[in-house]
Amino acid sequence: MEEWHESTEPCGAQLSNATLVLDSSGRCTSLSDAAVRLLTGGPAGDLVGRVVWGAFPSGVGDSLRHSAAIAMERQEILTLETRWLPENRWIECTIQPRPDSMCIGFRDVTTRRRVDRMSEGHREVLTGIAAQHPLADNLTLIAQLHEELNPGALCSILLVDADGRHVLHGAAPSLPTAYNSAIHGVAIGEGQGSCGTALHRRERVIVADVATDPLWSDFRDVAIENGLLACWSTPVFGSNGRALGSFAVYHRDARKPSDYELDCVDQMLTITTIAIESAQLLERVQERDGFFALSLEIYCVFDIRSQRIIQANPAFSQVTGFSEAELASRSYDAFVHPDDLGSCAAAVAALRNEGDRVSQVTYRFRCKDGSYRWLSWDSFVGPDGKAFAVGRDVSEKLRAEAELAHAASHDAVTGLPHRIVFEAALAAMVGSAEDPVWVMLIGLDRFQVVNEFMGHFIGDDVLRRVAMRLQDALGGNGRIARFAGDEFAIACATPEHAEMLALAARLRTAVATPIESNDYRVILSASMGISHSPDHGLDTQDLLSRAEAAMHRAKRQGRDCIVEFSVEEMEDTESRLTLGRSLRGAVQRGEMELHYQPQRDATSLALTGFEALIRWISPELGRVSPARFIPIAETLGMMPEIGEWVVGEVCRQAREWLDQGHRDFEIAFNVSAQELQRPGFVDQVRDALSVHEVPASTLNIELTESSLMENVDRVRRTLAELRAIGTRLSLDDFGTGYSSLAYLKQFPIDKLKIDQRFVRGLPYSDDDAAIAQTIVVLAHQLRMRVSAEGVETGEQAEFLRKLGCDELQGYYLGRPAAAPSASAFFPAAQVTATGDASESLQNAS
């Protein structure tokens, strides 16, 4: 499934734009658009915050997880190539570990793998031909090579008999023996299946459906009995134009071939011709000269003792310019580049006895014009003690790979290094520089306007010009990279704070100078953030994230300015990072619990249900307020995980109370925008209800206005599905958002909750009273119930009851409590609506 090896090259040298960043537990923290398309084709939010190994094709995730563990343990970059089925693609994955995370880059190497495997397979066949292996073995290798490159294909190579009238079985390693026997000896002619007809017509015949094609009328039954429903046959012609046989590809489903499949067949024809004609030649004479002349590959016979070439084919002369006599006239090492003599000598030394073999030995070979070509050799020792070598000229391949490596590590628009290359260089600078290392992140202000109104072609030209200006202003005294779409990063080492600020001013001026061409004139500005070691950290990510925080502060302050990262910002960032690290795994460690606050009927004060409120008790940090950790969980993409636990725990507790005999209650819990946007959220709720056998009406899902406004169409569908399974829906904190009231009627809301900010001033604040009354009237007109939260006094409770509020929640009616204590809120008997409110509350409690 994969091959992996340690790599000493920088990560960026092997990466394309498809990158994925994971934390140490394998959860995705960020990924590029190209990685989204590669893995899911959906939005990035589908993966962020998840353990992503399951998002990969079968087998790939396990291989990557295993390799990632090795990379993190060793803190070494690993590269592996994986096969992605069913698309049959090869993806090169480069894992670059960091102390607490890892970056995985992906590059599609399918074409190169197929080309390399095709070339490697041809060399294996040619080597077998040179070693005089049986024709059936060589044809089997050819058929298996095609099947390997085209999963699902079943190959058959038939041979034309001596009189040219019939086809004989040559090789068909994957076809049933009974079928091979049935077509052995079939006549060549029109209507004789795909192969007999192709040889008769001397052209390719494609039968997409054996069951209906008239060419198969005489052979349809035997084909269908053996599960063969399509057959494409191509004649194999010899060097003299005579038909030698046919190359057929069968499939077990009715289908036509793709252009790639036909091209792959065409690439097999020459080697098939060589195999058949070489076998025919060897039957007449035991000479290798005829075989050598057939091949376009480089061939030679090498005398190990004298270290001279004693025989070479024309292809060798065409590549090097030397005749066969010139190649044989001197010792072999006279043709080898001086720097490669060691590897060449080691390869020759490995060839001592019959059967010895060396593969893929690559070195530079001197040509007659004085230039050098890179040749790659596979050699083995034959029965006569001579070494037979098959070579190929890989000069262009190596040049292309060097260009691809540069393209993978540098931005195509500006020519600047990519982010990962910059990070590696920055880490080296921090580790070796005696002076402070300064990091600047430069963000072009409102650059999206250029792309929107002038087009991306001009936008790219502007970015190129800005990059050149920044390089000129830097003057070679640091490192520069294109960091993101319209952001650039710069790192340099200097002990002088004033010198760094002067450089920042020069860079800012370079951006601000008008950019003019024949087609446009653009004036830009830049917001710049600066951090430096050691005050702001010694870790690459720390310095970059703090420079980025300073840049964003520059944008908030009005843009077009330079801002240095402050110690206060660093302390706040450290606090958030510490909290984030502790929060990961908190659910699994059992650090989360739910407290339940009672909700009561506004008139009778009878218990109607509870709101489940999440609490986090961290062993290191103690009790952490939800107002502190929920925003961080949302930023880190952890809300789906936390929300899934909440749904399960609410259902579990509801089942426990139902088993204790309690009835006619509901449990409300809040759902974040992240959870609501997840495609599987409704299934998650449905599964939790099913597992704990809880009626759906027991759950009341509370939503905020902001969560409803994100992707309105998707939210509307999700809420409709939730209502369809029987859950109830509430709109929490109503009146604090900015949504249009027109949206309110579009959602199937059961209850509006008046935010406690409008309850706090009751009954004395006329403004709060007016707002509360408006919400009650509006909700009742829309056939919704109204609940008020934050009720802390009897006066507030009575005032809200008179306004028509249906339900109350707050400290006056009961504080949140853990489940065992919350059970006490259930009444021993049904409370009536009569009596004094405070007395009813006391009885209900």
- Please, which pLDDT band fits residue 12 given cuts at 50, 70 and 90? very low
- Could you report the per-residue pLDDT of 314-328, keeping only the tens digit for each? 888 888 899 888 888
Q: What is the pLDDT of residue 213?
A: 94
In this prediction, residues 209-234 reach a mean pLDDT of 94
Question: pTM of the prediction?
Answer: 0.41
- Please, which pLDDT band fits residue 835 given cuts at 50, 70 and 90? very low
Six token digits for residue 805: 């509020």
Alpha-carbon separation of residue 245 from 163, 215, 233, 282, 509 (angstroms): 12, 18, 10, 18, 74
* 368 contact partners, CB below 8 Å, separation of at least 6: 320, 321, 322, 326
pLDDT higher than 70, residue 313: yes
Share of the chain above pLDDT 90, in %: 25
- Please, which pLDDT band fits residue 842 given cuts at 50, 70 and 90? very low
- Could you report the per-residue pLDDT of 518-568, keeping only the tens digit for each? 888 888 989 999 988 888 888 888 888 888 888 888 888 888 888 888 766
- Least confident piece of the model among 149-153, 771-775, 825-829: 825-829
Alpha-carbon separation of residue 511 from 443, 523, 560 (angstroms): 10, 8, 10
User: Quick check: 493 and 416 in contact, CB under 8 A?
Assistant: no
69 or 5, greater pLDDT: 69
* 363 contact partners, CB below 8 Å, separation of at least 6: 336, 337, 340, 343, 344, 374, 375
What is the rounded CA–CA span in Å between residue 412 and residue 421? 14
What is the rounded CA–CA span in Å between residue 600 and residue 664? 12
Q: What is the pLDDT of residue 843?
A: 40
Q: What is the pLDDT of residue 1?
A: 41
- Could you report the per-residue pLDDT of 101-115, keeping only the tens digit for each? 999 999 888 888 888
pLDDT higher than 90, residue 209: yes
Residue 792: phi, psi to the nearest 5?
-120, -10
pLDDT higher than 60, residue 287: no
* 811 contact partners, CB below 8 Å, separation of at least 6: 791, 792
- Least confident piece of the model among 245-249, 464-468, 553-557, 609-613: 553-557
Six token digits for residue 424: 């590696």
Which position has the token pair 């053996």? Answer: 226
| Torsion sign (Cα): 138, 143, 146, 151 | negative
Of all helices (H) and strands (E), which one includes residue 478? Answer: none
Six token digits for residue 282: 């060897």
CA distance between the termini of the chain: 65
DSSP of 523-584, one letter per residue? Answer: ---EEEEEEETTTT-SSHHHHHHHHHHHHHHHHHTTSSSEEEPPHHHHHHHHHHHHHHHHHT
In this prediction, residues 139-166 reach a mean pLDDT of 92
* Average model confidence (pLDDT) across the chain: 84
- Could you report the per-residue pLDDT of 655-693, keeping only the tens digit for each? 999 998 998 899 999 887 777 777 888 888 999 999 999
What is the rounded CA–CA span in Å between residue 266 and residue 485? 43
User: Quick check: 18 and 38 in contact, CB under 8 A?
Assistant: yes
pLDDT higher than 80, residue 635: no
Domains, the chain, in order of start with CATH, read: 2-108 (3.30.450.20), 114-289 (3.30.450.40), 296-398 (3.30.450.20), 412-565 (3.30.70.270), 587-831 (3.20.20.450)
- Least confident piece of the model among 156-160, 548-552, 634-638, 730-734: 634-638
Alpha-carbon separation of residue 643 from 610, 614, 633, 638, 669 (angstroms): 17, 10, 11, 9, 9
Q: What is the pLDDT of residue 2?
A: 43
Q: What is the pLDDT of residue 840?
A: 39
In this prediction, residues 199-207 reach a mean pLDDT of 95
591 or 579, greater pLDDT: 591
